[in-house]
Amino acid sequence: MQAKTPAPVGRLGDVDLRLLRVFKAVADCGGMAAAELELNIAMSTISRHVKDLEQRLGLVLCRRGRGGFALTPEGERVHAATRALLAATDAFRGSVHDLHQHPGGDLHVALFEKTASNPAAHVDRAIGLFRERAPAVQLHLHVGTIGMIERGVIDGQVHLGLIPEHRRSASLHYAALFDETMRLYAGAGHPWFAGSDAKRGWDALRTQPLAGLGYHSPNQELMHARRLERAATASDQEGVALLVLSGAYLGFLPDHYAEPFVRAGRLRAVAPALLQYRCRFWCIRRRAPAPLRIAQAFHDCLLQAHG
């Protein structure tokens, strides 16, 4: 007896959207175990939802087993379509909320890491101002890399992003907010932790094992500009800090983030007047379509908080 061909997908209801959101979380997290924390539901429930979606679509979306988790080619296409669909759905909900006198809905803001400890960053003040103006809005804060934040804003997954200055995109609008000073640090046990800094400059730094970020960022741009080579790579500032604290590497860190380690005697800034650079942080949003009223309101609160 010939197998029955699945019927084309009809109208999407709330149940379908819920299944798609679960599938998107699984694909974004790289597996069901990781998505368990993201979704706050049991892995058995997540697995059942994914199976229900596969039956609904008549497709195998992912492979899971001893070889690990992986999307099938069909799963890759459904994942991309799901991202676009959910972004459009959230944008629709936000637009409807935007029509009301007292706006509500969800606002997604993504920040680069280690922002809270920067005394020049007044994002907390902006959040307080925004809460007074739009108490019904559900605010979602995300932390990610520069590339993740830019893609999120461009794709419409995130309404506003805060990133350090580097290459610019013509599809994004930029508003300057605050600065950050990056200094070179040595950990206890490194030869540069003690002694005079008189001969420690950019030329001498090229002879030392250096830890740095492994993606496009002001840190990576400095490496190219100063002809420095990384001996170790980290995906975030926390990783750079651990490499430097080991005493095996030197690395650039935000001065406000390194300060507690300096006070504890575990890090020292090397030739701080010379071996340093500054980053300017910007608020980014899409140029088109026009931002939601709640996104524009938070944007204005950020500018007000930072003078």
Largest CA distance in the chain: 85
**pTM for this prediction:** 0.70
Dihedral angle sign, alpha carbons of residues 66, 69, 72, 73? negative
The CATH number that applies at residue 79 is 1.10.10.10
Helix/strand/coil (H/E/C) assignment for every residue in 246-298: CCCCEEEEEHHHHHHHHHCCCEEECCCCCCEEEEEEEEEEECCCCCCHHHHHH
Residue 21: inside a domain: yes
Q: Are residues 196 and 264 in the same domain?
A: yes
Q: Are residues 118 and 48 in the same domain?
A: no
- Inside any domain, residue 92: no
Using an 8 Å Cβ cutoff, are 236 and 164 in contact?
Answer: no
State the total domains in the chain. 2
Domain that residue 73 falls in: 14-87
Predicted pLDDT of residue 90: 79
Nearest Cα neighbor of 47 from 14, 22, 80, 11 is: 22
Boundary residue ending a domain (55, 87, 119): 87
The pLDDT score that the predictor gives to residue 2 is 46
The 10s digit of each residue's pLDDT in 206-217 is 999 999 998 888
79 and 114 in a common domain = no
Answer yes or no: is 6 within a domain. no
* Residues of the chain under the 50 pLDDT cut: 1-4
Contacts of 160 (CB under 8 A, 6+ apart): 107, 108, 109, 110, 153, 283, 284, 285, 295, 298, 299, 302
Q: How many residues does the chain have?
A: 307
190 and 77 together in one domain: no
Per-residue pLDDT at 216:
83
Is 299 domain-assigned? yes
**Residue 155 structure tokens:** 């794709």
Q: Are residues 127 and 151 in the same domain?
A: yes
Is the separation of the CB atoms in 252 and 277 below 8 Å? yes
